Amino acid sequence: TNLARMLEHGRLGGTGKMLILPVDQGFEHGPARSFGPNPPAYDPHYHFELALAAGCNAYAAPLGFLEAGARDYAGRIPLILKLNDHDLLADEEDPEQAITGSVADALRLGACAIGFTIYPGSTHRNAMYGQIREIAEEAKSVGLAVVIWSYARGSALSKAGETAIDVIGYAAQIAAQLGAHIIKVKLPTDHIEQPAARKVYESTGIAIGTAAERVRHVVQCAFNGRRIVIFSGGAHAEEATFLDEIRAIQAGGGFGSIVGRNAFQRSRADALTLLGQITDIYAGKTG
Ligand code: FBP
């Protein structure tokens, strides 16, 4: 029911597609880097208003941001409580996340889902897989959906490897096997990181030449479309480039996007225009 609440809400309600506003960047990247480009975004209420005005399916944030808007926005938009977070105050080759909220917090805030980041590629990955196994079991036992941010990074991977097609496909599969209902990954490139995988991609001719083909393959890796795969927006980009990515996700059978910086780092008016264009593409109203 909670998954359905998210799928039915907002401008994309009923289409099977999703647009989610995630605002954990204040924790993940720092407040000035995140909100400095558009200072009204320092205010937690700004993001509730933006997600509502844009007709997003859901708004995802850590505990503090959700608590800061809970009284004024209760029941107005599906919420996803991020239960772990990472900061950039220490330089680490192998990142891990701290647990920053609980399933009880998610219930108290009336959230539809819990969100959790894993870092396939980090030496801490097995601990993170164990954490989400326990948290997902608890969340599902009380009817909450599970959203996994599957971000490949760590000393096992090159920089290019973090978005390599084989690694993103693998990250999507791991999140699906960990029981995610919604899987969030980065848009992959055509780089292949692992030599053993390269042989298979080349010998079997898996189509990964275009962005849309790569999206299709990642969706295939997440149980052939039986799990919802959405793609992260990334750093602030030119509108035309960004919309080309959205068209590729749509053409490749992706389920939508989770767009943070490309929304709240623009002025409210520009963000609403861009988010409106995104929902039009996913709703099939424009090509
Ligand atoms: P963006 O659209 O801003 O990329 O947000 C998506 C997101 O997953 C956030 O939830 C998270 O804070 C951020 O990306 C992580 O980005 P990075 O890969 O730079 O750490």
pLDDT tens string, the chain, 287 residues long: the values are 999 999 999 999 999 999 999 999 999 999 999 999 999 999 999 999 999 999 999 999 999 999 999 999 999 999 999 999 999 999 899 999 999 999 999 999 999 999 999 999 999 999 999 999 999 999 999 999 999 999 999 999 999 999 999 999 999 999 999 999 999 999 999 999 999 999 999 999 999 999 999 999 999 999 999 999 999 999 999 999 999 999 999 999 999 999 999 999 999 999 999 999 999 999 999 87
Quote ipTM for the complex.
0.92
Q: How far apart are CA 147 and CA 112, in angstroms?
A: 10
Please tell me whether residue 22 adopts helix, strand or coil conformation.
strand
162 lines ligand 1 (CB under 6 A): no
Alpha helices in the chain, H assignment, sequence order: 2-8, 25-28, 31-35, 44-54, 63-73, 103-108, 125-141, 165-177, 195-204, 211-221, 239-251, 261-264, 268-282
Mutate to test the pocket of ligand 1, among 21, 23, 25 (most ligand atoms within 8 A of CB): 25
* Separation of CA 22 and ligand 1 centre (Å): 8
274 lines ligand 1 (CB under 6 A): no
184 flagged as catalytic: yes
Q: How far apart are CA 118 and CA 131, in angstroms?
A: 9
Q: Which has the closest alpha carbon to 197: 226, 153, 161?
A: 161
What integer pLDDT is reported at residue 41 of this predicted model?
Answer: 98
What integer pLDDT is reported at residue 286 of this predicted model?
Answer: 84
Please tell me whether residue 99 adopts helix, strand or coil conformation.
strand
What integer pLDDT is reported at residue 61 of this predicted model?
Answer: 98
259 lines ligand 1 (CB under 6 A): yes
Tokens of 108: 């108290």
Please tell me whether residue 229 adopts helix, strand or coil conformation.
strand
Tell how far CA 8 is from the center of its chain: 18
- Name the active-site residue from 17, 82, 140, 184: 184
Residue ID of nearest Cα to ligand 1 atom 8: 232
